[in-house]
Chain A
């Protein structure tokens, strides 16, 4: 079983559109939407039957028993998140550390588990899709990513599927790390802009930190051939393989707007570019 995670650093570089198209070429496979706080893969995954729905409970929030609380504000002085003050809790700031509970001289604070999101398994024409939705403003997106990836591995084993393809989150922080660890390949999708190169470099440092092999795709490459070359030169210097270039093509947006990825089996240079990327990465892993 092999796991490929598609990340980018910069948001909006085309991770989900590319994941959607690669799924069709790699089918049957297990797909994962690991961007749990802005999950979009299911929007272009075609007709799907929801097979499983789970609560995701990984954090707790302080609650105060107002009858026991004498308003001493010992909790407020200790809390490093500004989440509690004289017995009033701001649940969006609370990180569930429990220090207020430990410290309250009147035992007025208890920690209550809260649902931070939900996760699902849906059956699609290309195989199972494991996806999730973190509740807005919630904590622990990294743990939710870990939960969906774990289920994806179980499904791949149970159904004898050889590939897990994960659409990852933007950025370099905890959910990206959770999406990357243990992957066989990180496919780094970038765009030919200063932001694209800057963010690629930072996300590559994270891959190196975890010793994950990476390949680079330059999306919308014709919007700036100079920057595309700069990005590819950077990739070569750093020892990353180039998986390919995808031209800017309004047909991709049109397809996504209609609820589907660009069909990679059709004619045209964008579809061909995606097929070539798939051939390269499937050979390499």
Chain B
């Protein structure tokens, strides 16, 4: 089973839920934690994984053999990202704009364009506590997160057992890449207007993808916003409420897991898993 933890709004507690849930369940079953928030991968900070392997991820970008180029300009005309511009008789390659689609090399009639790999980041594999750990890590200065999210997911596809994916915030292409094909999405929100606004946008995206989802309201009691009523009104299932607790912030600030603090958190996250299983396999 694959469960993604996503949110819309950042900072609602995705990594908190994903790391604590994964570490708890790994005591009883085979679990792989996948950090698919490749722009800011943080799960490792709380799990302290021993990294045993690293895979470089490249984006295929065009390079030019100027001697073969006839200057026909078909490559620049084909590129929809503005990554090739004709300057004089040759295309100028602006590879930071390239999406690696391959249209330019496909269309080039003289074989003057070929592809080279440009590094965008790495996928790192290892283990932590009793779980398998996989994270994607985008290089700062690189713009395109989705190909790296896909590469991270592809590495995780080889894992058996339960896979828990810590997704990036937002509602755009990196999140789509992180959640596509999972069995269930847990959306973490908080009782503020920001939390609700972004939750409803994220739920809209997941409905478009046809993915089943349930909501965890984190920091319950902190903001006065009636997020649970809003969920009920719009037909969103609330799986769990986690109370606001200063100790959680303190534990998080130390880079530790709350399941090690108190049996209360073990119970709460155990209930969350049971609720998800009930939804996935009724």
A residues contacting B by CB (< 8 A) are: 9-13, 16, 37-40, 43-44, 60, 78, 80-81, 92-93, 95-99, 102-103, 133-134, 136-139, 141-142, 169-177, 192-195, 198-199, 202-203, 205-206, 209, 220, 223-224, 227, 248, 250, 253-254, 256-259
Given contacts A38-B170, A136-B202, contact A12 B10 (CB under 8 A): yes
Per-position contact with A for B145-175: 1 when CB-CB < 8 Å, else 0? Answer: 1000000000000000000000011111111
Q: Which of B39, B222, B249 contacts A253 (CB 8 A)?
A: B222
B80, A37: Cβ atoms under 8 Å? no
B42 at the interface (CB under 8 A from A): yes
* Residues in B whose Cβ lies below 8 Å from that of A175: 172
* Residues in B whose Cβ lies below 8 Å from that of A10: 10-11, 40, 42
* Residues in B whose Cβ lies below 8 Å from that of A177: 143
B66 at the interface (CB under 8 A from A): no
B100 at the interface (CB under 8 A from A): yes
Least CB distance, B225 to chain A, in whole angstroms: 5
B141 at the interface (CB under 8 A from A): yes
Interface Cβ pair total, 8 Å cutoff? 194
Could you list some 6 contacts between A and B, CB below 8 A?
Answer: A11-B7, A12-B12, A102-B103, A137-B173, A194-B42, A194-B255
* Residues in A whose Cβ lies below 8 Å from that of B208: 92, 136-137
B103, A254: Cβ atoms under 8 Å? no
* Residues in B whose Cβ lies below 8 Å from that of A137: 171-173, 175-176, 205, 208-209
Given contacts A40-B9, A192-B253, contact A96 B40 (CB under 8 A): no
Query: How many angstroms from the CA of A1 to the CA of B225 in the assembled complex?
Result: 37
B106, A139: Cβ atoms under 8 Å? no
* Residues in A whose Cβ lies below 8 Å from that of B224: 254, 257-258
Query: How many angstroms from the CA of A60 to the CA of B171 in the assembled complex?
Result: 19
Given contacts A97-B103, A103-B106, contact A202 B42 (CB under 8 A): no
Q: Which 4 A-B pairs have the closest CB atoms?
A: A12-B11, A11-B10, A136-B205, A97-B101
Query: How many angstroms from the CA of A273 to the CA of B250 in the assembled complex?
Result: 22
Least CB distance, B249 to chain A, in whole angstroms: 5
* Residues in B whose Cβ lies below 8 Å from that of A40: 9, 193-194, 197-198
Per-position contact with A for B192-218: 1 when CB-CB < 8 Å, else 0? Answer: 111001100110110011000000000
Query: How many angstroms from the CA of A174 to the CA of B140 in the assembled complex?
Result: 11
* Residues in A whose Cβ lies below 8 Å from that of B209: 92, 137
A259, B170: Cβ atoms under 8 Å? no
* Residues in B whose Cβ lies below 8 Å from that of A16: 194
* Residues in A whose Cβ lies below 8 Å from that of B46: 194
* Residues in B whose Cβ lies below 8 Å from that of A202: 39-40, 140
Query: How many angstroms from the CA of A174 to the CA of B193 in the assembled complex?
Result: 26
* Residues in A whose Cβ lies below 8 Å from that of B42: 10, 194-195, 198-199
B138, A172: Cβ atoms under 8 Å? yes
B78 at the interface (CB under 8 A from A): yes
